[in-house]
A and B are shown apart, each in its own frame.
Chain A
Amino acid sequence: MLDIKNLHVAVGGKEILKGLNLRVDAGQVHAIMGPNGSGKSTLSYVLAGRAGYEIIEGSISYHGEDLAALPPEVRAAKGVFLAMQYPVEIPGVTTMMFLKSALNAQRRSRGESEMDAIGILKTVRKKAAALNVSEEMLKRALNVGFSGGEKKRLEILQMALFEPKLAILDETDSGLDIDALRLVAEGVNNLRAPERAMLVITHYQRLLDYIVPDRIHVLANGRIVAEGGKELALELEAKGYEQIVKDAA
């Protein structure tokens, strides 16, 4: 589904990703682990299409298509979803209105009919209840005054609503207490499906106790330096990034 080859990405003229290779197939959950500054967020932003992330070499193929050539909204409509580390607060746009606009924009882009307000409301309510997202949150301005946990739950609610093919979770565990982490992880696990791939980006092994990956990649200094099964997370936890990076060198 996703095939990244020799990816070099610069931000503000500085090279952050330096020849990254990664392949994720449908039905799989891959974890990207790495220390601060290794390029984890750069990878997530370049996949979602944020401006200012310049691909200087390499390619990103998504379902055989050149992902980098598409604007962010087209990527979203084609099933790419990034759960952001810092969801943006937008005063003046209610959460419900935003969900409706986004869902229908994606449907329009795919040539599907738009859903009416009632249909969307019913769908959102059902999925929101499972994630403990209250009716009151849906009425509030998007992410405004939400706690860290509420913001992350809303990100997962969007993922449940949009039903992406490739879901990228950027440090979804950051700022969550253990109860919130369990709730979010459960929401993610419920979305595991044979046709869906997930890329879970995290600094800590903790999240991977709850979302167990098929494969773990260690990102350091803009490259994948180690790969392995889920046991690699425990090794990282025991040895620390520094040792793993040294061992790999």
Chain B
Amino acid sequence: MTLALALPTRRVEEWKYSDLARALGDAGFGEASARVSIGAVPAGVEVFDLDEPNRPDWVKAHYGKLGGNAVSAVLLAKARGGIALRVPKGNIIEDVLSLDFAGEGHVRALLVLEEGAALTLSERFDSHETRNVGFEIVLGPNAQLNHVRLSPVSDAVQVEEISLTLARNAVYCGHFANFGAKLSRIELAITLDGEGAEAHLSGVSVLSGDKHADVTTKVTHAVGRTQSTQLFKKVAGGKAQAVYQGKVIVAHGANGADSRQTAKALLLDGRAEADLKPELEIFADDVKCAHGAAVGDLDADSLFYLRARGIPEKEARHLLIHAFLEDALTDIANADLRETIRGAVSTALNEVSA
């Protein structure tokens, strides 16, 4: 069987809005290894190159244990290299750790935060080559991770699967800023595995031309008294396609689970498309779950109000689009990273035929 045949087709429900085989064409994903690098390593963070022999116990304990979607199962096995990072028990890291993915092919990463550890992670995706990334994150009890991922506009096919487990009272805040690719897919599989665990996901997409960006999340409340929130805002112009699929699963007996999902899209062109699909699967009795999705155009009354006060139409539109995205951006705790994302949003908005 060739690799191309093994790729998920659009008949697979989770890949309905992202035609991977078609985007890759005959070349498929290939078998190359992509690269992952880190910036300055803050004191208190351990790094292990997955190409090296003699993996330490913490790598053996967690590497390759999570995830397993169609792409990762078939293709990530091909990834030879990669990086493993650990923040040992109780280490609170003040400096931001940068993680950069680049090059063509497959690559993997592992991040382990042990009990009580805390880290801010800035993940960047180089825009040039076709890439498939598998990233496993393990949060121990009371660990805290702030994660901001920026993927700039790209002509390539870029896929990443992030698998994350949270032990009791661990808190994960993830922001995903995506400006589209030939096909861009970020898949998040999150398991809230201990009481008091919280996952807060937010993201913005600003797409122009024929770009595509797919955020697919699966959050499992495996035990009770766990919390998850999701807020994704998307702006699509041209013939761009914005996709959000979010599934929240509350396991049997996970009473006291609290989940909220919101996805909203602004379409600036009649040819642009937004596919928003929040889903709930609840097997417990005592839960609080809410979800909502909305697709619309800029509000005509607001636009008139701003113009009637002297703000030119283009500027007024940009102001309203920024305003639309704002609540998803304020979820980014780190001020520098928040401003970086704001800047990227402004740049992208200038490209959108607003």
Contacts and interface: CB of A to CB of B under 8 A. Distances in A.
Interface of A: 48-51, 71-73, 75-77, 82, 84, 87-88, 90-93, 98, 101-103, 105-106, 109, 158, 162
11 contacts: A71-B313, A72-B304, A73-B308, A73-B311, A87-B305, A88-B305, A92-B326, A98-B309, A102-B310, A105-B315, A106-B309
Minimum-distance CB pairs A-B, first 7: A92-B323, A92-B326, A76-B310, A106-B310, A102-B309, A72-B307, A88-B305
Interface residues of B, number: 24
Nearest to B322: A92
B301 to A, nearest CB: 5
B93 interface: no
A75 B325 CA distance: 29
Contacts of A82: 308
B94 to A, nearest CB: 29
A91 B320 CA distance: 9
B310 to A, nearest CB: 4
A90 B311 contact: no
B311 A105 contact: yes
Residue in A72, A105, A106, A162 whose Cβ sees the most chain B Cβ within 10 Å: A72
A72 B301 CA distance: 13
Contact of A84 (B299, B305, B310): B305
Interface in B277-327: 299-302, 304-313, 315-316, 319-320, 322-327
A103 B311 CA distance: 8
B114 to A, nearest CB: 38
Contacts of B305: 84, 87-88, 90
Contacts of B315: 101, 105
Contacts of A84: 305, 308
A102 B327 contact: no
A39 to B, nearest CB: 19
A240 B322 CA distance: 48
Given A72-B304, A84-B305, A90-B302, A101 B323 contact: no
B319 A49 contact: no
B308 A48 contact: yes
Given A72-B304, A101-B315, 18 more contacts: A48-B308, A73-B307, A73-B312, A75-B308, A77-B310, A84-B305, A91-B327, A92-B325, A92-B327, A93-B322, A98-B306, A101-B319, A102-B306, A102-B311, A105-B311, A105-B315, A109-B312, A162-B309
